[in-house]
Amino acid sequence: MTASQISGLLLDLDGVFYIGHQLIDGAIEAIEFLRQHNIPRLYITNTTTRSQKALFEKMQDLGLPIDQEEILSAPQAALDYLKQQKIDSAYLLLRDEVKADFQTIEQKSAQPQAVVIGDIGSRWRYALLNQAFLYLMDGAQLIALHKNKFWQAEEGLRLDIGAFVAGLEYATDTQAIIIGKPSPAFFEQAVHRLGLPKNRIAMLGDDIDTDVGGAQAFGLQGILVKTGKYRASYAQASGITPDAQLESIADLPALLTAKAAQHGNP
């Protein structure tokens, strides 16, 4: 697929439109371009540090013109998965504000049906991991909101939850159910919400593995932006070739304008 075949977009948030509380240049203008040209879009994120409400509020605080229904987050998809699987008790390794989205799930069971892992920052310690290990050995299902290796904070790169998920997989000889990108089920949910054939959709993000590689494996186009967690040496060593690379989100309108020109549209 080429840029001339893009009809809709899936867009990562953190590292693409902002880093921490700092907007990336051109972020607002890129969104306004998408809105003005009625380009179907969905913002999909592996961020597990904020509830759905808090995530939307951050968009407002940053001045990003994104509606709440345009956001699909990994915690939201995880809650849907638990409901679908009729899992009503879980050990939640999530931040307290994210747990608020899981009020329908029993969180104090002595024998939870699942262990759900998201980002809890500096709260990670041996006792929590060991408790999760014991629940898993007792038959609980391991569910990870994503398995990212690292992420970009305002202070620099930070270890992400993938290392803890991999450790529990190794110790319990099991495989986690991965909810967020690059899970095919997550991409399927996003594509369904866009209502377009997946061969007409591009995923844009700063993560060569989960955003670009995951999208391509699912049959989408993968566009890499050189902001956020992007590191040239890591991207080159990944073995993944993006369908397009942009210096930043500010270059997206030019890419889509070129697409329109190829079709002879004004």
Q: Say how far apart CA 115 and CA 136 lie, in whole Å.
A: 7
How confident is the model at residue 155, as a pLDDT? 82
Which residue bears the tokens 């849907």? 80
Residues 6+ apart with CB under 8 A from 54: 97
How confident is the model at residue 81, as a pLDDT? 92
Query: What DSSP character marks residue 208?
Result: I
Q: Say how far apart CA 26 and CA 164 lie, in whole Å.
A: 35
Query: Nearest 5°: CA angle at 216, between 245 and 263?
Result: 60
Taking the chain (266 residues) in runs of 10, the rounded mean pLDDT of each run is: 74 96 96 96 92 92 96 92 94 93 91 96 94 97 94 85 96 95 93 94 96 96 96 95 97 84 52
Name the CA radius of gyration of the chain, rounded: 19
Strand ranges, E, within 160-264: 177-178, 201-205, 221-225, 244-246
Residues 6+ apart with CB under 8 A from 223: 202, 203, 204, 205, 212, 242, 243, 244, 245, 246, 255
How confident is the model at residue 1, as a pLDDT? 42
How confident is the model at residue 257, as a pLDDT? 87
Residues 6+ apart with CB under 8 A from 82: 88, 90, 102, 105, 114, 116, 143
How confident is the model at residue 49, as a pLDDT? 86
Q: Say how far apart CA 86 and CA 47 lie, in whole Å.
A: 24
* CATH 3.40.50.620 is the classification of domain 75-178: no
How confident is the model at residue 231, as a pLDDT? 95
Q: Say how far apart CA 73 and CA 94 lie, in whole Å.
A: 14
Which residue bears the tokens 């809105």? 35
* CATH 3.40.50.1000 is the classification of domain 3-46+182-262: yes
Is pTM, for the whole model, over 0.85? no
* Tokens read off for 92: 């939640």
Residues of the chain with CATH 3.40.50.1000: 3-46+182-262, 75-178
